């Protein structure tokens, strides 16, 4: 449990969110949150590049 608290301090809001989900036994939500964050990063980084038209056709 001390490892989660130390991780929460180092990672900030994301660490606190993971700690909250784990403590409330909502650990099954973690993969969904990770996928949403990855999609958001994908859209953010491909914005304005030559790959953008191909990414937007996926959605």
- Torsion, Cα of 41, 45, 50, 56 (10° steps): 30
pLDDT tens figures, 1-57: 556 566 656 778 877 887 888 888 887 888 888 898 888 888 777 777 777 677 667
Q: Are 8 and 19 spatial neighbours (Cβ–Cβ below 8 Å)? A: yes
What was the pLDDT predicted at 23?
Answer: 85
């Amino acid at each position: 449990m001390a490892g989660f608290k130390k991780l929460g301090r180092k990672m900030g809001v994301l660490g606190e969110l993971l700690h909250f989900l784990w403590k409330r036994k909502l650990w099954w939500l973690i993969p969904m949150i990770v996928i949403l964050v990855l999609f958001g990063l994908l859209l953010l980084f491909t914005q304005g590049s030559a790959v953008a038209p191909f990414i937007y056709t996926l959605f």
